[in-house]
Structure formats: C-alpha cells, structure tokens
Chains A and B, each alone.
Chain A
Amino acid sequence: MPEGKLCNKKPVSTREELDALLADTNGRQYYAEMEQLDVDADALWATIQKSMKSRLKTWLEICAHCGLCADSCFLYTVNQKDPTQVPSYKIQSTLGEIVRRKGKVSNEFMRMCMDTAWSKCTCCNRCGTYCPYGIDMGVMFSYLRGLLHSQGFVPWELKIGSGMHRLFRAQMDVTVEDFVDTCQWMVEEAQDEWPCLEIPIDKEDADIVYMINAREAKHYPEDIVEAAILFHIAGENWTMPSVGWEMTSLAMFAGDWEACKMQVETIYSAMERLRPKRMVATECGHAYRATVIEGPYWAGRPDGKPPVECIHYVEWVAEALETGKLKIDPSKKIKEPVTVQDSCNYVRNAGLRECTRIIMKHIAEDFREMTPCKEHNYCCGGGGGFNGIGRYRKQRNIALKMKREQILATGAKLVVAPCHNCWDAIRDLEEEYQIGIKWTFLKPLLIKMVEVPPHLRPEE
C-alpha cells in the first residue's frame, strides 16, 4: 500500500482528515499504515540536493569521529552511555546514510530514522557547542525531521499538531471566537478581585502585544488572566490579537516547514496590523524559538528579525522588577530552596541566560543553580516534541533522569520552569520518580508576591 488513509505524504488539509487522525486511538492504524508506506527515493534525493548545501554537507563529511559529543548528550548519559546514543553516530547512521545512499532507502530504514530523530534527539543543540568543529547535530536532526515529514514518516501526534497549525493557526483547535470568548469570561470572573482588569483585544499602537501558547487558551486560561493581572499592576498599555495570538509551532517539531511559515506569517501580520512597540511572548521556550529566532527565516525576512521587537516573558519580568514596575513584597519572597530550569530554546539558543537570575535575585532568598546551568544546561528531557509522543513515552521517561539528578543535587524543593515543555517534563518527572518537588511558572509565583498599588486594590 503506497499511501495510507491516515499515514501518507500529504499534510492535513481538511477538518475531516484531522478528525480521522484524531479518531485513531494512539495512532494504531496510522503506524500500521506507516509500515507499508513507500519511500519516494527520487523525491527524497531531489529535496536533499536542493536543500543540503555546504553547511550540512561539510558537517557530515568533516566529523573527526572524536566522540567529544558523547558526554554532551544527556540521552547518551541517561542510557548507560550506550554508544548508539552518541550524537555523531545517531546522525551519521540516519541522515548520513540517506545521503550516502542517495535517498535509496527502505521503509524500515525510514522508520528507524523516525524513531531516532524523535526519540534520540530533542534538538537541544547542546552537542553543537561541545564539538570542536561546531557540528550542530540538533540542527541536522531538525533537517532530517523535515525530510522524514516530506515522506510521511512523522509521529502521529505531530502530524496532528502540524495539521492543527494548518487549519487553525494554533496547535489546538481553538478558533478566533473560542479565544476571544475565553479571554472575556476569564476577565469577568477575575473582575471581582481585580476591578478594571481587562484583556484588550486588537488594540492598535499599544506598547505591548502579548502572545501565548494555545494550551493556555484551551487548558490553562488562568495563565492568561495572571498575565493580564501582572500587566495591569505594572501599568502596561497592552493588547492581544484576535488572530495571530498563538506562537507555538508543533510544525517545527514535526519538520513541516510549510506549516511553520503559515504560522509565523499569521503572527507577523498581527504585529503589522496592530503596530505595537514590542511583543511579549509567554513562558514558552519553543514558541519563542519558533516565532522570534527561526520564524523570520521561514517568513523570508532578510534581516532575520520579526516585524517588531520581541521579548520573552522572562525579559519582561526582569525589566519590570528592575525598573520597579513590579515590586516584590520582601516578606513574601520564596524562603525554601529554589532552582530554575534554563530552557534550551531561549537560553542556549537565544542568549537569555541572565533574565531568570535577575528575577531570582528579586523573588528568592535561597536560589540554587543547577549544574550545569545557563547555556550549558541539559534539556528538561521532554523537548523537541518528545513530551507529546506516546510511541516514545518509555524513552522520554528515561530521558527525565538527567533533570531529576540535576534537581536533586541542588537540594531545591521548588523548580521554576518558565517554559511549557520544561514545566510538563518536570511535572511528569515528579509523577514518575516522586522526588518531592514542586514546579511552577513565574506568573502564579509573582501574583502571590507583588505589591499591589492601593488604587488597584478591590474596595473592601
């Protein structure tokens, strides 16, 4: 069977196709069909010839096979230093082999590549910073994911995820009406406690446009209200767009570059329509990476920048605390030992290492660094889509061990994780290994600690 009904080379383009995928429990039929999926070797090789230029070619050719990347990879370490988990081996035995065979590879080989690309690499890019040549295997695995996606070899959840982006411009089925309604009723509920609180939608020329992760609209709407309260207390002139509010990209995890482009173009047109001075991104790592770091290139912007200045939530909080827009009640600072999870996507890959340290200086009495930390920190264990793929749950749970050891070594009882993926991974880590920790985003912490100016307090 060359093309399956669910598993095929065609991305999701209709609601019916998406519903059919969603109805397939755990992707059983999808993965069964994948075993029969033909590999279009000519198309694969043509794509490689068109898209693999000197950077990737040289990386594949020049690798000195020195093995320095081994210990940089947390998946190698947590899998008992299994040599097949050495980053160089993983990429040479998959992408390297496809290139050597000029695309003439079997279905079985492609499935092995899929399992490697999504369960043996989280695209954290740490290896690239430990290789003397600077060979970034995370970048190469991301490229491999794109090739696999083009041939239909992509995990079920990510085919659904990128399909969602194609249909809804969000990783979940949240329509414009759903989103605007959610904001309205959440504000109404909060207004008892916060009179005059609002979530201004589609306000033009505001200082800040705030953009989020669709999970917040769908599953954690309190997160949106917390953001609104903090902007309210800080006196910010802000808004959210009714279209283009979602900045995550499961399409990036899936290697669906066309959907990535569609997603960021929606966001950028919201920025151009509303003309804010800045965009503030919610506490999500990959959303920031997709929208701010990679997105401009998907959208073909030669300066490599989004249409307006974009900052991550940790940057906004650090700035608000330093400038006094937000003031912390000293008696409410965190007393227990607390540590911070540095997200690969906005720390290693976007240079925001100092923001959370500034925040901790303001809010924590006993802040403890993980080892390693900052740009050398390890992935939470669930990045790159790993958290969301049922087929690799066992491998993901093993992957969490590195973060477990890092957290235990700090002695911290609370982990601040200003990133959805990291937050999920640490929650799952506690569920799986029960080490007695709590985990949190910044917003709920700050809400409990900030001083509220008298004029914003509810009347007694």
Chain B
Amino acid sequence: MYELLTGPLLWFSFAVFFIGLGVRVWFYFQGLDWRLDRVAYTTQLPYGLKGAWRSVYKWLIPFGTHSWREKPVFTLIFFVFHIGLVIVPIFLEGHVVMIRNGIGVSWPTLPQGLADFLAIAAFLAGVGIGIRRFALPEVRILTDAKDVALLLLTLALLASGIMAARHTESYMTWLTVHVLCGHIVLLAAPFTKLAHIALFFCTRIQLGMDFGIKRGGMKTNFDW
C-alpha cells in the first residue's frame, strides 16, 4: 500500500495537482474580458502589472494591509496556518528525500525541530480557524459542509504528519494516513476551493489590475 502510494500513484497525484491547477489558471486568464470586466487589461498593461504586483505583494505580508491589521488575531492564526501548510511540505527533509529518490531533484531542507514547530503551530492555528468558524455568527452563517470537510482534511494531513514524525510504534499507520491525506489534497485541489492555492494569485492580480488601470492607479497607488 505504502509503496504504491509513494510510487507511481504519487506522481499521478502530483500531475493532477500541477496540470489541474495550471489549467484552472489558464482558463481564468482566458476568461477575463475587458468589456465585461470593464478593465483595459492589455492596452494599459504597464499600469495593470504595477497594480497586480502591489495587490499580491501587500496581501502576502502579514499585517501588510488594512484588512490584516484590523483583525490581528485572525491574521496571526491565518499566517501561521498557511506558513505551516506551504513551507513545511516543501522543505521537510522526508519530503525532499522522497522527491530526490523519485526524480533526482533536490533542494535545502528545514531543521526537523523547526519543521515540527511550524507544523504543530499550523495544526493549532487550524483548530483555531475551525473554532472561529462556529463561534462567530458572521462566519457561521457562511459555513457549509465543504468548508468543514476541507478544514478537517487539512487538519488530518497535519496531525498525521506530526505524529509520523515522532516515530512511535504506530509510525507506519500515521505515515500511511498522512500520505493518503496528501493524495486527497493533491487530487482535490484543482476541483475544490483548495484551488485557491493558485487562484488566490489570479484573483488578486485581477483586482490589482482593476485598481491599477481603472480605479485610480494612473493617479495614485491604492493603499491596500
């Protein structure tokens, strides 16, 4: 089972993940329409690119925008959650070794202690996000089963990874659960809200171009 999951199936899941998200990005930009969106994307490209860059960059910085600063606790939880979910999987030694064995490509890794810390922090932040989802009426009213399912999947991925890293007696069980969750995440990403992994950049670029070209970007930079 484990060999299969970390062998050919893994490359299949990666392919679905990258090609699927690539296709979504492609169709997103293909579907932008200057008349319908009322943004002169191509004729005012330099203003658009400037607006796009600022719109992405500012939102990637913790507390970089008015919105992030207005909700400091959420912002902290949000960034801890996402840093854990992005940095750890890419730079974890176990993952890098697996990739190297598979395709011979390698890159620097995180110290295990730091990776553990980031992963545990991300798990706790995820729990916090879950609690917030039900504790706050303005979030509860928006929440649906898919939101909960995706959060549980992500938490399961983190928890099983954290447990597997502890090399306990049930190591193989945790590892198998972890790899299974990883597959589900990779396979589901292009078809669910996990697509925001790529579409976050697309929608931010679009709104950045809108403000950069049409809504004032030729006179001032929007103060995100």
Interface residues of A (CB under 8 A from B): 51, 53-55, 57-59, 61-68, 70-72, 76, 81, 83-84, 86, 88-89, 92, 128-136, 293-294, 296-298, 300, 302-305, 348-354, 372, 374-376
Contact = CB atoms under 8 A, between A and B. Distances in A.
A55 B32 contact: yes
B203 A133 contact: yes
B142 A89 contact: yes
Nearest to B136: A67
A206 to B, nearest CB: 23
Contact of B39 (A62, A304, A349): A304
Contact of B44 (A53, A293, A303, A372): A303
B74 A68 contact: yes
Nearest to A355: B219
Contacts of B195: 62
Contacts of B3: none
Contact of A302 (B40, B219, B223): B40
Contacts of B200: 62, 132-133
A297 B41 CA distance: 12
14 contacts: A62-B196, A64-B196, A65-B147, A66-B139, A67-B138, A71-B71, A130-B66, A130-B67, A293-B214, A297-B34, A303-B44, A351-B222, A375-B216, A376-B223
Contact of A62 (B137, B147, B203): B203
A129 B219 contact: no
Contacts of B32: 53-55
> Top 6 closest A-B pairs, CB basis?
A351-B216, A54-B31, A134-B207, A304-B40, A67-B139, A65-B142
A49 to B, nearest CB: 12
Contacts of A297: 34-35, 38-40
Interface string B211-224: 00111111110111
Nearest to B201: A133
A57 B31 contact: yes
A62 B31 contact: no
Contacts, number: 150
Nearest to A76: B138
Contacts of A55: 31-33, 36-37, 203, 206
Interface in B187-201: 193, 195-196, 199-200
Interface in B36-57: 36-40, 43-44, 55
A350 B68 CA distance: 23
A205 B166 CA distance: 80
Contact of A86 (B33, B36, B141, B215): B141
B142 A351 contact: no
A303 B48 CA distance: 12
Contacts of B147: 64-65
B30 interface: yes
Contacts of B224: 129
Contact of B142 (A86, A302, A348): A86
B138 A134 contact: no
B215 A89 contact: no
Interface string B133-146: 10011111111100
A92 B44 CA distance: 32
Given A86-B142, A351-B217, A375-B223, A135 B203 contact: yes
A453 to B, nearest CB: 31
Nearest to B56: A134
A131 B222 contact: no
A303 B140 CA distance: 43
A72 B218 CA distance: 25
B43 A351 contact: no
A302 B31 contact: no
B139 to A, nearest CB: 4
A132 B59 contact: yes
A54 B203 CA distance: 10
Contact of B138 (A83, A131, A133, A376): A83
B16 to A, nearest CB: 19
B163 interface: no
A92 B142 contact: yes
Contacts of A128: 207
A225 B123 CA distance: 66
Nearest to B217: A351
Nearest to A292: B214
Nearest to A142: B38
A52 to B, nearest CB: 8
B28 interface: yes
